């Protein structure tokens, strides 16, 4: 087997046993990047020299018997809105060109400084995480490793493509309405969105504060569990992070699920869900039943309102958050300084924000304006509570909820770029989870007739990451398709 075909936890054992060196692993990843990056465009900035220097240092420490951290130099791809000290972090926007954060994000400190992972570069994404396809980037689109005429999903598309193609072993992403689960589903990998507050958002450039959550994209469930153990926990620098015991998630993966009750919401298989996707997911549900789980029907009656509710809230929060990018406080100012300060600010944003970001700022500002605030924003917050209560009610009868992750497999590049409403509707099965603040994971459960991956979503109750990881692991082992590496072909 090539090194890129091993799981992260398997590579850790190989490094510990001195079967391979950290440097060998890093070099194999960079060779793979050289082979595939021209077709994929997963990354926007690399840290090759620094990464290889760290690999040599870790190998030296290992040789001398020093402890180097639990991740043993595994290569880490990082979404371009999670701050890495002194490294270009631009949110794939012209307005942040050249910005280098003066500090590390909490998750970067945990993974790299504490546990010895090696940052190899920042990955492409939809600008400020606003999108479902990774086409809204100032650097250009990323392409799906299974078919480079198709999108990888978004907004963490670069992270998902890097894992699916074997360019990296671990990856970080962020999930506001499905931005981890969508690309993980489209690229046939594991994407984990934790409970809101489980992982610190310190150092995550904000899109929508009440919805954003940092999570992971990996080759397998075990690697996701391992990363979550490391990045979870209370952070005094993030008031929304929760002081709650962090379980040893890797220890609970092997538990049998024959006593689990799994809910299937009929609304998640309604109009708009592709028939091939539905059939592949239902076959996976049958596999869970074969493992002893009890399958029941549940209802999320307010699902039809989730897309409207989600976009009203996220656009309002985006409008507020992005107000600071005026060229004076943050961002590059327009070179045309004629007119008053408002003219300069307006030109700065017009020149440096892409069309999707501008669209969301306009709509969010409108929603928050006098006369419309109660009509739209306050009403959306009330419906959000109804959606949250739907999940609370459903979890009284089941341990987890399962569904397709996305209503379709990856669509063609450019297919919906000029139809934002269709793009927004693609989030129908993922954004309810963010509105409720609960955890969810997607794993690959099969392929459609075009050999494109289908994602299977497992949703858990608040802070029950252990439960959904357990179910995901058992199903992953039963299906046994997770080791497939994308061919990176047309």
Question: What amino acid positions are annotated as catalytic residues?
Answer: 79, 155, 179
Q: What is the DSSP letter of 380?
A: H
CB burial of residue 28 (10 Å; 0-12, 13-18, 19+): middle
Distance CA 164, CA 189 (A): 6
Taking the C-alpha atoms of residue 200 and residue 203, their distance in angstroms, rounded to an integer, is 8
Q: In which element (H, E) is residue 384 found?
A: helix 379-394
Q: What are the residues facing 459 on neighbouring strands? A: 401, 440
Residue 143 backbone dihedrals phi, psi, to 5 degrees: -115, 150
Q: Is 116 left (phi over 0), alpha (psi -120 to 50) or beta?
A: left
Q: Are 217 and 152 in contact (CB under 8 A)?
A: no
Q: What are φ and ψ of residue 46, in 5° steps?
A: -110, 155
179 close to 60: Cβ distance less than 8 angstroms: no
CA dihedral sign, ordered 396, 400, 406, 407:
negative
**Is there a contact between 169 and 219 (Cβ–Cβ < 8 Å)?**
yes
Contact at 8 Å (CB) between 172 and 34?
no
Let me know if 114 is exposed, middle or buried by CB neighbors in 10 A (0-12, 13-18, 19+).
middle
Would you list the DSSP string of 410-477?
PPBTTSSTT-HHHHHHTTTTTHHHHHHT--EEEEEEEE-TTS-EEEEEEEESTT-HHHHHHHHHHHHH
Cα atoms in the Cβ-side hemisphere of radius 13 Å centred on 179 = 29
Does residue 147 contact residue 410 with C-beta atoms inside 8 Å? yes
Q: Are 185 and 164 in contact (CB under 8 A)?
A: no
Task: Tell me the C-alpha distance between 478 and 362, whole Å.
Answer: 47
Q: Measure the CA–CA gap between 31 and 40, rounded to whole angstroms.
A: 14
Report whether 57 contacts 66 (CB < 8 A): no
Cα(106)–Cα(103) distance, integer angstroms? 9
Q: Which helix (H) or strand (E) holds 173?
A: strand 170-174
Let me know: does 118 contact 72? Beta carbons within 8 Å: no
């Amino acid at each position: 087997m090539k090194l890129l075909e091993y799981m992260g936890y398997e590579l850790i054992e190989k490094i510990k046993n001195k079967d391979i060196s950290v440097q060998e692993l890093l070099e194999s990843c960079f060779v793979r990047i050289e082979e595939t990056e021209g077709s994929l465009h997963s990354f926007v900035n690399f840290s090759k020299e620094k990464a290889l220097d760290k690999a040599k240092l870790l190998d030296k420490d290992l040789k001398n018997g020093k402890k180097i951290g639990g991740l043993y130099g595994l290569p880490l791809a990082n979404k371009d809105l999670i701050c890495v000290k002194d490294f270009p972090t631009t949110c794939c926007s012209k307005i942040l060109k050249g910005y280098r954060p003066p500090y590390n994000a909490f998750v970067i400190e945990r993974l790299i400084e504490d546990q010895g992972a090696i940052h190899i570069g920042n990955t492409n994404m939809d600008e400020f995480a606003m999108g479902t396809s990774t086409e809204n980037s100032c650097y250009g689109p990323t392409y799906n490793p299974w078919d480079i005429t198709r999108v990888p999903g978004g907004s963490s598309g670069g992270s998902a493509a890097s894992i699916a193609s074997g360019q990296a072993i671990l990856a970080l992403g962020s999930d506001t309405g499905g931005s981890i689960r969508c690309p993980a589903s489209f690229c046939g990998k594991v994407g984990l969105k934790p409970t809101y507050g489980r992982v610190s958002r310190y150092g995550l450039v904000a899109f929508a504060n009440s919805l954003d959550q940092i999570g992971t994209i990996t080759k397998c469930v075990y690697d996701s569990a391992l990363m979550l153990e490391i990045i979870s926990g209370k952070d005094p620098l993030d008031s929304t992070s929760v002081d709650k015991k962090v379980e040893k998630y890797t220890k609970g993966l092997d538990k049998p699920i024959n006593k689990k009750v799994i809910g299937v919401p009929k609304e998640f298989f309604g109009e708009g869900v592709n028939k091939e996707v539905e059939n592949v997911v239902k076959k996976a549900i049958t596999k869970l039943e074969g493992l002893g789980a009890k399958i029941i029907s549940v209802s999320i009656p307010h699902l039809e309102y989730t897309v409207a509710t989600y976009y009203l809230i996220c656009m309002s929060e985006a409008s507020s958050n992005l107000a600071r990018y005026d060229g004076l406080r943050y961002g590059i100012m327009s070179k045309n300084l004629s007119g008053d300060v408002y003219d300069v600010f307006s030109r700065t944003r017009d020149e440096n924000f892409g069309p999707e970001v501008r669209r969301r700022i306009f709509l969010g500002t409108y929603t928050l304006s006098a006369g419309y605030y109660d009509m739209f924003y306050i009403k959306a917050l009330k419906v959000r509570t109804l959606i949250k209560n739907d999940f609370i009610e459903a979890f009284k009868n089941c341990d987890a909820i399962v569904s397709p992750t996305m209503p379709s497999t990856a669509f063609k590049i450019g297919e919906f770029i000029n139809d934002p409403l269709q793009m927004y509707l693609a989030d129908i099965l993922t954004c309810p989870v963010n509105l409720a603040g609960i955890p969810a994971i997607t794993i690959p459960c099969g392929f459609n007739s075009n050999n494109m991956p289908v994602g299977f979503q497992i949703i858990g109750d608040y802070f029950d990451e252990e439960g959904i990881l357990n179910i995901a692991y058992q199903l992953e082992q039963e299906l046994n398709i997770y080791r497939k590496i994308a061919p990176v072909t047309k």
